[in-house]
Amino acid sequence: MQVLAITMGDASGIGPEIIAKFFAAGVSTPAIVIGDAGCLERTVHALRLPLKIRAIVSPSEGTSETGTIDVLSLSNLPADLPLGKVDARSGQAAYDYIVSAIDFARKGEIAGIVTAPIHKEAFKAAGITYPGHTEILADRSGTSDFAMMLANEELRVILVTIHVSIRAVPDLITKARVLKTIQLAHAACLAYDIAEPRIAVAGLNPHAGEGGLFGHEDEAEIAPAIREAQTLGMKVSGPYAGDTVFMRARRGEFDIVVAQYHDQGLIPVKYMGIEQGVNVTIGLPFIRTSVDHGTAFDIAGQGIADASSLAYAFEQARLLQKVAAR
């Protein structure tokens, strides 16, 4: 099976720690890390894990030999790099890991990418203007139709808008954008081997606008997008009130929910626990999953970070890879 690449994320956060713990727990299929060999070596030593770091120069060298982390090292971060603090060096290195992974994926040298967390302020300190992973992945791969999906064992949520302010959201809720996201939701479910996806669309306003009493977007933009998607053969319904649709999906009524903005969709998923959560970028020409948490600067270097979300993200990437290969 073709190798998956794990990007190390921000070295000042918990990325190196959760990667080391993930490999210490045993990886049964080929995986490499794109990151910093020295940083991982120091992390393994600090955690007293029975692992060795092996430097490689191409993804094809990855073997997932038990007790070994194969690292394609792209940086040489100093041993005294401060943990738990924004540092431009960590931001630049994290960006370089992502870009390299995207290029390998586009060339078919890796099956997909699993990303450890980045820190947006560290990006800014390094002069990088992207607001997050999703936008880098889309831009670098030349993808125009893409969306962020958060999922766990009980709920899948895909977003119409992502990293924008609440003030900007209503103007971005257009029929075209909502329809595109419904189509991506359908594609996401097919990628998970769901033959006839049941798609629910959340409204933007309270009570999905209450017939226009609380805003016009639900009737003017969201509902027409749903009707057009139905004419295209998709099993989609809504708009539903945002305060109940996620509960209904969790109970099994829907396979995925289209949420209109970042926190509307992510709060329900994350409230159920980040340990079994995964972030999947839909629409890319390759697989990309990610942990469902941030850099956790408050606990960086303390040895108490939980690698469960990384393990789940890796597992989901493998699942998507297997479905795609059928």
20 belongs to a structural domain: yes
- 270, two tokens: 């994350």
Q: What is the model's pLDDT at position 30? A: 86
Q: What DSSP string runs through 82-147?
A: PTTS--HHHHHHHHHHHHHHHHHHHTTSSSEEEE----HHHHHHTT----SHHHHHHHHHT-SS-E
Question: Rounded to a whole number, what is the distance in angstroms from the first to the last CA of the chain?
Answer: 13
Q: What is the model's pLDDT at position 260? A: 97
pTM, two decimal places: 0.89
232 belongs to a structural domain: yes
Q: What is the model's pLDDT at position 132? A: 85
Q: What is the model's pLDDT at position 127? A: 97
Residues 200 and 313 in one domain: no
Residues 15 and 124 in one domain: yes
277 belongs to a structural domain: no
Residues 19 and 95 in one domain: yes
Rounded to the nearest 10 degrees, the angle between the axes of helix 88-106 and helix 133-141 is 40
Write the CATH number for 234: 3.40.718.10
Domain range enclosing 244: 153-272
Mean pLDDT by 10 residues, the chain (326 residues): 92 97 86 96 96 93 85 95 96 97 96 96 95 90 91 93 93 97 96 94 88 87 97 97 95 97 92 78 94 93 94 92 82
Distance separating alpha carbons of residues 306 and 326, to the nearest angstrom = 33
- 7, two tokens: 């990007």
Find out whether 297 and 84 touch, Cβ atoms under 8 Å: yes
Number of domains, the chain: 2
Residues 163 and 250 in one domain: yes
Find out whether 290 and 323 touch, Cβ atoms under 8 Å: no
Q: What is the model's pLDDT at position 134? A: 86
